[in-house]
Chain A
C-alpha cells in the first residue's frame, strides 16, 4: 500500500488557506443593518394618520460626492376588503400576496441626510432651490403614501448619475425608519437593511442578483424573543412580539412576488424544539402567536400557540426562520421584530441575526428608468 507523507508545513498552509476561505466565504453573504450599502430595504412603513401613526424615513448619503437614488415603495395594504383606520396596527395579522409598487428618484448631495413623513412625502428636497457649499443641488421629489391607512415595504438602490439610472456598485447609503404613534405617544426606530454591492460584479442592468452582484440573503434568520403573553420582567402587563417578513426576491417589472413557505423552529430555555410553518407573499406581519393560530389575542387560540408562554413555560425563546428555497429562487427573507409592552402602549424594534448562505440567488427586477430600458 502506498503511503502518503504529509509535510507538516504544507499541511499547516492548507489548513490556513482553508480557514481563510471559510472566513471569506462567511463574510460574503452578509446583509448588514449598520454598514453603508448600495441597496436599502425598509421592511415596514406604516401610515394611519387617523390613528396618529406615521413613519419618518431617513436616508443619508455617506459619500463625499452626490449620488442618485431610485426607490420602490411596495404597497402591501390589503385591498379587499379595504383596510380601515386602526386595522393595520398591531396586534394584527397581515399576509399580502399581491402588492402594488410605485417608484421615484432623487439626488442627494455630498454627505446629505434627508427625512420625510411617509404620509406626506417630500415635494422639495432641502437643496432643491438653494445650492450647497459644494455647488450641488438636489433633484427629484418623493411622493406621499398612495393611501391612508397603508402598510408597505421600501427598497432604495443607488444608481448612476449620468442619466442612465442603472444600479452601480457603490456602497454609500444608510437609512432608518421611525414608526411613531403620536397619540400614545410612542416611537420605535429600526435601521434599514443595507445590501452591499460586490465590487466589480455589477453588470449595470436592472436585475439585481443578490448573492452575485450584491451580498446574498442569509439562509436563516434567528430571532430571540419573549414568548407571547409572558409577564414583563420589569413593567406591568404581558409582552407580545410581532414579526414583519419581506422577501429578498421581487419582480417590479411583472409585479409578481414569490410564494414562500416559511419554516419556524422554536427553542425554549429547556432546549426543547418545536416547529411550525406558514406561507407568505410580498409582505407579512404577524404577532408570533398568530403564526400558528387564528389571528387575535384570545385564550381560545393564542394560549395554544407554540410561541405562547403558557405552552413553553419559559420567558424567552429562540426562533430560526427559513424561507424554503424555490426551484429557481433563493426565497431569502428579511425581517424586523417589534416588542410590545404595557398592553401595546410601548414598543421597541430590533432585528434578528442572520446565519448561513443560500445555494440559490435572489433577484430584484427593477422597472427601468425609461420605457426603452430592459
Chain B
C-alpha cells in the first residue's frame, strides 16, 4: 500500500486556508448594493405602457469587461428569457431604455453593442453576468448598476391595481453578487457562499408603513401602499426552467406583535403586500397582516424567508420594495433596497445556468 507523507507545514497551511475559507464564507454574506460585483440582478424592470425603465451599468475596472445579460419577461403565463452581450471599456458607463433598447449608434459614447428593445409588454427582471471574451463567467467584481423606473401615464396600474402618476420616478441600486477573485468560475454560475460566488440572502427585511395607513406628514389626505418584487436566485436559462419557492413572511409591528403569511414565487413576483394574504382584495386594509387595520401601528417590519423544500433542498430569492404614497389621486413612489441578514447556502447551491454555445 502506498503511504502518503504529510508535510507538517503544508498541512498547517491547508488547515489555515480552510479556516480562512470558512471565515470568508461567513463574512462575505449575501447580495450587496455597495460593491462592484460579478453578477448584477435588477429584480424589477418594467416597460409595459405604464412604466418605462432606464438601465445603467458601469465597468468599475481598469480593463475591458464583457457582460452577458438575460432579460426574463414574466408578463405572460410563463417566463421568457432573452439574452445579449455588452462590452464595456475601462471605467465605461452605459445606459439604455428597456422598451427601445440601444440600437447601434443611438446614444453617444463607445458603443457597448446592440441591446434589443423589449417593446411595451415587458414585466420582469434583468440579470447580467461578468464573462470573458469567450462567454465564460469570471469573478472580476467589476460591474455596478442602477434602474430608474418612470411612470409614463396617469391611471391605475393593471398589474397591482395601484394609482400611477405620469413623471414619477423610482430609483434602485442593482443587487450585486460578489465572485471570489481567487476562484475560477464556470457555467453554471454557482452561488455557493464564497468558494466561487456569494450566495443569495437567507433573510430579507423590509421596513414599511402598513398598507392603508395615512402619511405622518399629511394624515387627512394620504394613503400608503407597498409593493414587493422577488426573483429566484436559481435560474436555468439553458433549459428555461425556474423553481417554485414558498416564501414566508413574518411581520412585526411597533408593539412587538408578530403576524405571518406566505406565498409562492416562480421566477418573478410583483405584488402589493396585502395581495399576498388577501388576493381577493376584499377590505384588505383591515384583513391583511400587512394592513393598518390589523397592525394598528404606523410602522412595521417584515422578514422574508424562503422555505426549504420537503427534500431538504432550498432556493433563495432576492428583491426590492417600493413605498407608494397616494395623495388626493396623485401617486408617488420611492424605491427601497431590502435589508438582508445572512446568506442561504443551499445544498446543492443555487445556480444560474447560461445557455451554452451552439
Contact = CB atoms under 8 A, between A and B. Distances in A.
Interface in A37-56: 52, 54, 56
Listed residue (A7, A185, A186) with the most chain B CB atoms within 10 angstroms of its CB: A185
A313 B109 CA distance: 8
B56 interface: yes
B54 A35 contact: no
Interface string B296-336: 01111100000000000000000000010101001011111
Nearest to A138: B254
Contacts of B333: 187
Interface residues of B, number: 91
A58 B334 CA distance: 14
Contacts of B335: 188-189, 348-350
Interface in A186-221: 186-189, 191
A180 to B, nearest CB: 5
A13 B10 contact: yes
A219 B31 CA distance: 21
Contacts of B133: none
Given A23-B180, A24-B27, A318-B58, A271 B35 contact: no
Contact of B217 (A18, A126, A182, A348): A182
Contacts of B52: 234
A30 B169 CA distance: 29
Contact of A60 (B24, B176, B218, B301): B301
Listed residue (A14, A113, A268, A349) with the most chain B CB atoms within 10 angstroms of its CB: A113
Interface stretch (A68-76, A127-135, A142-150): A127-135
A270 B109 contact: yes
Contacts, number: 278
A133 B256 CA distance: 7
B93 A224 contact: yes
A286 interface: no
Interface stretch (B15-23, B124-132, B231-239, B276-284): B15-23
Interface in B62-107: 89-95, 97, 107
Listed residue (B33, B36, B109, B180) with the most chain A CB atoms within 10 angstroms of its CB: B109
A342 B166 CA distance: 10
Contact of B13 (A14, A184, A317): A14
A185 B223 CA distance: 12
Given A10-B7, A13-B10, A348-B170, A186 B332 contact: yes
A316 B95 CA distance: 7
A351 interface: yes
Interface of B: 7, 10, 13-14, 16-17, 20-21, 23-24, 27-36, 52, 54, 56, 58, 60, 89-95, 97, 107-110, 144-146, 148, 150, 152, 166-173, 176, 180-183, 194, 205, 207, 209, 215-218, 222, 252-258, 297-301, 323, 325, 327, 330, 332-341
9 contacts: A13-B14, A18-B182, A33-B337, A113-B252, A133-B258, A224-B146, A233-B54, A342-B169, A353-B34
